[in-house]
Amino acid sequence: MSVISIEGMEFFAYHGCFKEEKIIGTKFRLDLFLTVDTTKAEHTDDLNDTVNYQSVYQVVKKEMETKSNLLEHVGRRILTKIKEHFPEVERARLKIRKLNPPLGGKMDFVSLELEA
């Protein structure tokens, strides 16, 4: 088993419960870890024998474009789509961070981790 990771993906999106967040948006950073059997690709050197992380990125990007109130909802949608599009993924773990959240004080981010 191998873990394919795509880390530090950045998106500008409109997720949040506050009206202002839905209007002005904010930055999000995501890390995705996919557990996959890469044995065949290790021998064939063929992209068709593994998970194409460019295709994975496109799935994540599309889901980030759909507004949600909660990080939990965004994260679950992303993991569901990853498992639907890439059945060879045995396990997926996602960390999603909302940078500079409007919570009335200074902080770098809030985050959520989910697995599927």
In this prediction, residue 116 has a pLDDT band, given cuts at 50, 70 and 90, of very high
- The CATH number given to whatever domain includes residue 39 is 3.30.1130.10
Q: Which domain holds residue 99?
A: 2-115
Distance CA 66, CA 54 (A): 19
Q: Is 95 in the active site?
A: no
In the chain, % of residues over pLDDT 70: 100
Structure tokens at 114: 């989910």
Tokens 């191998």 correspond to: 2
Structure tokens at 7: 């880390």
- pTM here is 0.92
Give per-residue pLDDT as tens, 20-65. Answer: 888 899 999 999 999 999 999 999 999 999 999 999 999 999 999 9
What's the chain's average pLDDT? Answer: 95
- Report how many domains make up the chain: 1
Catalytic: which of 27, 62, 98, 106? 98
